[in-house]
Amino acid sequence: PYTGPSSAEILKKRKEYLSPSLFHFYNNPLNLVDGKMQYLYDENGRRYLDSFGGIATVCCGHCQPDVVEAIVNQTKRLQHSTVLYLNNAIADFAEALASKMPGDLKVVYFTNSGTEANELALMIARLYSGCHDIISLRNGYHGNAAGTMGATAQSNYKFNVVQTGVHHALNPDQYRGVFGSDGVKYAKDVQDIIDYGTSGHVGGFIAEAIQGVGGIMELAPGYLPAVYDSIRKAGGLCIADEVQSGFARTGSHFWGFEAHGVVPDIVTMAKGIGNGIPIGAVVTTPEVAKVLTYRNYLNTFGGNPVCSAGGLAVLRVIEKEKLQQNAFVVGSYLKERLTALKEKHEIIGDVRGRGLMLGVELVTDRQLKTPAKAEILHIMDQMRELGVLIGKGGFYGNVFRVTPPLCFTKEDADFLVDVMDYTMSKM
């Protein structure tokens, strides 16, 4: 049993000693003390079904035994910085990761987070192209450091930093966007930015295949192939941010971009790569990687032995437990059930996503698509009371994000939908 401080005591310390900008879910915040696969436990031992997976971070399940064992064993043996000596853990993991990539994408740089991975990717694109202009998407999220905050395009996550070198293109938003699901029409905006907003040359383009923080918005079909074409003709590199959509989450494919029929020049990843431990990566081609050979590029803890051992175990568990297939089967079933729920509850404006990366957008008026901001908070609180944790996001904060550990079962999906249905019926 848990013998640590109470929720009230933790909250008090958090308010006094941690960032005042930290926010928490739920009116009465939840103190989580244990995790086991798709379940989380509070200080009273109460179990919750985790359908958010720590922001799509936990792919194999909380404290998945093989992953824990790999981390513990490596910790007991050796943990240090990777840069100056040889160690098998980082080399083995890089090789395994490269084997999951298409085309010539096989050179891996390890980082400690998604932000770091995207910062590095942007720098590589700029060095390679000799051009500073980057194009990203409105509603995208790429990180919280200087460059990535520039690429991020949601005011909620942007401070008053000087916005340089990044143009934000029209979002190929299939629910609210002016061109509906016609990806090629949205892609014209990127060509327009190149033609009217730059010298005609660009450094690169960065996008998530399914926007996570932005409310599980899958880019309209046809968008990425057309944009990649424009970017490459303008001398830029195409970066796929797979921080949330990677590692089998979308079910149909291992990487989110694969569903769009494109092969990026650079792929960035984090979150799921380590099942909860801090690690990120940038993967690119040997040709592109040459641009980083003229100086030393150093990252003290990127790909350290413990995180690398954990990452390798994650890849093995995804394979052994057939988690991609499970994400596809359970995700398709869950999406069907959520779509059926839309027939019953007016408040559900849209159900979308792929595999175990699903979104449910709540609106108070289906015609006007008025964001149901207060209602979603109420439903979320009530669902927690009934034992289900769910995520929330989108520019207006009115989209449920369902990104559970990939070991989620059909029974879990039923429980989630039944709890949502019951809560909405009681409103």
Q: Is 284 in the site for ligand PMP (CB under 6 A)?
A: no
Residue 380, class by beta-carbon neighbours within 10 Å (0-12 exposed, 13-18 middle, 19+ buried)? buried
Say how many residues touch ligand PMP, by CB under 6 A.
15
Q: Which of 143, 164, 253 is nearest to 206 (CA)?
A: 143
Consecutive H or E run containing 329:
helix 323-344
| CA 124/CA 351 separation, integer angstroms | 36
Q: Is 114 in the site for ligand PMP (CB under 6 A)?
A: yes
Q: Considering the complex, state which of residue 173 and residue 241 has its C-beta at the smaller distance from ligand PMP.
A: 241
| Min dist. Cβ of residue 242 to ligand PMP (A) | 8
Pair of tokens at residue 169: 């293109």
Q: Considering the complex, state which of residue 213 and residue 238 has its C-beta at the smaller distance from ligand PMP.
A: 213
Residues in 29-48 that interact with ligand PMP by CB under 6 A: none
Q: Is 141 in the site for ligand PMP (CB under 6 A)?
A: yes
Q: Is 275 in the site for ligand PMP (CB under 6 A)?
A: no
Q: Considering the complex, state which of residue 217 and residue 306 has its C-beta at the smaller distance from ligand PMP.
A: 217
Asked whether the beta carbons of 37 and 62 are under 8 A apart, the reply is: yes
What string marks each residue from 143 to 162 as x (binds ligand PMP by CB under 6 A) or -? Answer: x-------------------
Q: Is 393 in the site for ligand PMP (CB under 6 A)?
A: no
Q: Is 171 in the site for ligand PMP (CB under 6 A)?
A: no
Q: Considering the complex, state which of residue 101 and residue 372 has its C-beta at the smaller distance from ligand PMP.
A: 101
Cα 172 to Cα 110, 181, 257: the distances in Å are 30, 7, 15
| CA 169/CA 197 separation, integer angstroms | 11
Helix (H, G, I), strand (E, B) or coil at 169: strand
**The binder of ligand PMP chosen from 74, 113, 285, 308 (CB under 6 A):** 113
Q: Which stretch binds ligand PMP (CB under 6 A): 187-195, 207-215, 375-383, 384-392?
A: 207-215
Q: Which stretch binds ligand PMP (CB under 6 A): 112-120, 282-290, 408-416, 417-425?
A: 112-120
Q: Is 305 in the site for ligand PMP (CB under 6 A)?
A: no
Q: How many CB atoms lie within 10 A of CB 9?
A: 11
| Min dist. Cβ of residue 161 to ligand PMP (A) | 16
Q: Considering the complex, state which of residue 114 and residue 251 has its C-beta at the smaller distance from ligand PMP.
A: 114
**The binder of ligand PMP chosen from 40, 224, 237, 270 (CB under 6 A):** 270
Q: Which residues contact 32 (CB under 8 A, 6 or more apart)?
A: 40, 41, 42
Q: Is 215 in the site for ligand PMP (CB under 6 A)?
A: no
Q: What angle do CA 226, 232, 233 make, to 5 degrees?
A: 90
| CA 42/CA 148 separation, integer angstroms | 34
Cα 377 to Cα 67, 370, 374, 414, 415: the distances in Å are 34, 15, 5, 21, 19
What string marks each residue from 219 to 258 as x (binds ligand PMP by CB under 6 A) or -? Answer: ----------------------x-xx--------------
Q: Considering the complex, state which of residue 269 and residue 363 has its C-beta at the smaller distance from ligand PMP.
A: 269
Q: Is 403 in the site for ligand PMP (CB under 6 A)?
A: no
Cα 393 to Cα 52, 66, 211, 377: the distances in Å are 11, 31, 10, 11
Q: Considering the complex, state which of residue 248 and residue 372 has its C-beta at the smaller distance from ligand PMP.
A: 248
| Min dist. Cβ of residue 411 to ligand PMP (A) | 28
Q: Which residues of 90-120 are buried (b: 16+ CB within 10 A; e: fewer)?
A: beebbebbeebbeeebbbbbbbbbbbbbbbb
**The binder of ligand PMP chosen from 213, 318, 389, 420 (CB under 6 A):** 213
Q: Is 133 in the site for ligand PMP (CB under 6 A)?
A: no
| CA 414/CA 410 separation, integer angstroms | 6
Q: Which stretch binds ligand PMP (CB under 6 A): 111-119, 129-137, 259-267, 347-355?
A: 111-119
The position carrying tokens 């490269």 is 98
Q: Is 142 in the site for ligand PMP (CB under 6 A)?
A: yes
Q: Considering the complex, state which of residue 117 and residue 413 has its C-beta at the smaller distance from ligand PMP.
A: 117
Cα 23 to Cα 20, 27, 198: the distances in Å are 8, 11, 38
Long-range contacts of the stretch 85-94 (C-beta < 8 A, 24+): 87/305, 89/305, 89/306, 89/308, 89/309, 89/312, 90/303, 90/304, 90/305, 90/308, 92/308, 92/312, 93/303, 93/308, 93/309, 93/311, 93/312, 93/315, 94/303
Q: Considering the complex, state which of residue 142 and residue 253 has its C-beta at the smaller distance from ligand PMP.
A: 142
Q: Is 136 in the site for ligand PMP (CB under 6 A)?
A: no
Residues that bind ligand PMP (CB under 6 A): 55, 113-115, 118, 141-143, 208, 212-213, 241, 243-244, 270
